[in-house]
C-alpha cells in the first residue's frame, strides 16, 4: 500500500469484516488490496482487469460480490459517474472531501478538492427542508488529451 489513507482504510476494512464475521483472504483480500492502492473511482470491470494484469485469478462475479459487501458495510462509496456504470472508491478515512471530473471520451478520472465548492454545497443544503447525508459532484467533459489531441 502506498499511503497512510490506504493503510488506514485497509485496516478499518479488515476490522469491519472480522466484526461482521466475514472471511478475509483469497479473492476478497486481493480486491481489498487493489482498492487500497488505487482507491479513486474504479468500476468492477476495471478492478477485474487490473487484477488479471497483475496475475491474479479473480472472477468478475467475485469482484461484484466483494464490492457489494464492502459498500453494504460502509467501506466503499458507490458513485454513478455516467456511462451507466457504478464506480467505487474507499470511504473517507481522513475527513477530506473530493469530487471528480470524468472524460466522456476516454474515461479518465481526475479527483479534485475545492473548499469553495464544499461551502456552496453546505450552504445550499442548509436551505433545504431535510438533512443531507452525502453528496456527489461529477463534472463531465473532455480531458486535455481528448480535447486537444496532439
* DSSP notation for 102-136: EETTT--EEEE--HHHHHHHHHHHHTSSS------
Q: What nine digits make up the cell of 54?
A: 497483475
What pLDDT is recorded for position 147? 85
CATH 3.30.1490.190 placement within the chain: 99-147
Lowest mean pLDDT among 49-58, 64-73, 107-116: 107-116
Q: Is the dihedral of CA 28, 30, 31, 35 positive or negative?
A: positive
Tell which wins on pLDDT, 4 or 72.
72
Q: Is the pLDDT of residue 32 over 80?
A: yes
Q: Mean pLDDT across the stretch 59-66?
A: 95
Instruction: For residue 70, give the nearest of 112, 36, 107 by alpha carbon.
Output: 36
The CATH 1.10.10.10 portion of the chain extends over 4-90
Indicate the fold that domain 99-147 takes in CATH. Dna Ligase; domain 1 (3.30.1490)
For every residue of 57-69, DSSP letters joined together read: ---HHHHHHHHHH
Q: Tens of pLDDT along 71-125?
A: 999 899 888 766 678 889 888 755 567 888 888 888 788 888 888 988 998 899 9
Give the burial class of 127: count Cβ atoms within 10 A of its Cβ; 0-12 exposed, 13-18 middle, 19 or more buried.
exposed
Bridge-based pairing of strands 86-90 and 76-80 is antiparallel
Among 76, 72, 31, 22, which residue's Cα sits nearest to residue 54? Answer: 31
Arithmetic mean of pLDDT, 8-24: 91
% of the chain at pLDDT higher than 70: 89
d(CA 18, CA 146): 44
* Domain range 4-90, CATH architecture: Orthogonal Bundle (1.10)
Amino acid at each position: 500500500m502506498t499511503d497512510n489513507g490506504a493503510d488506514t482504510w485497509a485496516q478499518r476494512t479488515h476490522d469491519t469484516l472480522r466484526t461482521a464475521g466475514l472471511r478475509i483472504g483469497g479473492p476478497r483480500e486481493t480486491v481489498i488490496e487493489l482498492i487500497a492502492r488505487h482507491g479513486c473511482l474504479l468500476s468492477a470491470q476495471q478492478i477485474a482487469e487490473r487484477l488479471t494484469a497483475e496475475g491474479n485469478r479473480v472472477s468478475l462475479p467475485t469482484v461484484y460480490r466483494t464490492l457489494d459487501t464492502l459498500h453494504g458495510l460502509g467501506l466503499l462509496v458507490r458513485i454513478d459517474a455516467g456511462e451507466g456504470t457504478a464506480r467505487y472508491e474507499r470511504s473517507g478515512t481522513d475527513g477530506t472531501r473530493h469530487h471528480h471530473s470524468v472524460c466522456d471520451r476516454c474515461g479518465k478520472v481526475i479527483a479534485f478538492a475545492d473548499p469553495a465548492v464544499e461551502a456552496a454545497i453546505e450552504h445550499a443544503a442548509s436551505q433545504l427542508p431535510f438533512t443531507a447525508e452525502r453528496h456527489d459532484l461529477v463534472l463531465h467533459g473532455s480531458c486535455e488529451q481528448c480535447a486537444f489531441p496532439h
